[in-house]
A and B are shown apart, each in its own frame.
Chain A
């Protein structure tokens, strides 16, 4: 299985940049696409798709969110951070079955 590793938590100040990382133990690239996706989950809610194929913004997601990376190293950036962004962020790969998720990074405000 492809293992995705995220830092458990990150604290940033309002208006600053948050960078959340996700590292995989196998390459998730395939024919020019990186099969890496990002989700936001707030307490008591279902996950919400933010980014698909590493860098594509999902419908309705503000441009403050961006994703980049390839191979085994990926980042989700929120710039600038707003109060409503406090949540847990998960990465997910769909390069190989079983589809797997990272452990999540909880974003908190300083």
Chain B
């Protein structure tokens, strides 16, 4: 059974940092293309970042709204993907989901349960 479990969310002040972790199981993680997708309090879904597999040189891509502030990474030995979030803004407040994308087509068949990040002073 495919499982994705996000941790690391919480309340953080604007300008601070937070690191999310997504631990996975039930599939060959090293071949997977992984993504972070967030959902705002208004329920809008927004793709945040993507990291491809080692065979694709671990290529990464970001939404413009987070480029330069967020970094996606992975550890294939731990079947985990991470999202380092720096210089957080109030508009980054959202539920952050880890998802597995279908390589090359990027639909999201598997989602974690999400972790809530609240940016507020």
Interface residues of chain A, those whose CB is within 8 Å of chain B, are 33, 35, 37, 39, 46-49, 52-53, 58-59, 88, 90, 92, 94, 97-101, 103-104
In angstroms, how far is the closest chain B Cβ from the Cβ of A79?
23
Residues of A within 8 A of B108 (CB): 37, 39, 47, 49, 92
In angstroms, how far is the closest chain B Cβ from the Cβ of A7?
15
Q: Which residue from A33, A49, A53, A101 sits with its C-beta under 8 Å from B44?
A: A101
Is A103's CB under 8 angstroms from B44's CB?
Answer: yes
User: Which residue, of A46, A90, A98, has the highest number of chain B Cβ atoms within 10 A?
Assistant: A46
Chain B: CB-nearest residue to A52 = B107
Residues of B within 8 A of A101 (CB): 44-47
In the docked arrangement, what's the CA distance between A46 and B36, Å?
Answer: 13
Contacts A97-B61, A103-B44 given; does A52 touch B112 at CB 8 Å: no
Residues of A within 8 A of B102 (CB): 52
Known: A47-B108, A52-B105, A98-B63. 7 other contacts (CB 8 A): A33-B105, A47-B45, A48-B111, A92-B108, A94-B106, A100-B47, A104-B43
Q: How many residues of B contact A (CB 8 A)?
A: 21
Residues of A within 8 A of B47 (CB): 98-101
Interface residues of chain B, those whose CB is within 8 Å of chain A, are 35, 43-47, 50, 61, 63-64, 97, 102, 105-109, 111-114
Residues of B within 8 A of A90 (CB): 45
Chain A: CB-nearest residue to B113 = A46
Shortest beta-carbon contacts, A-B, top 7: A94-B106, A46-B111, A101-B45, A37-B107, A99-B47, A52-B107, A49-B109
Q: Which residue from B35, B105, B109 sits with its C-beta under 8 Å from A35?
A: B105
* Selected A-B contacts with CB under 8 Å, 27 pairs: A33-B105, A35-B105, A37-B107, A37-B108, A39-B108, A46-B112, A47-B97, A48-B111, A49-B108, A52-B102, A52-B107, A52-B109, A53-B105, A59-B109, A88-B43, A92-B107, A92-B108, A94-B105, A97-B61, A99-B35, A99-B106, A101-B44, A101-B45, A101-B46, A103-B44, A104-B43, A104-B45
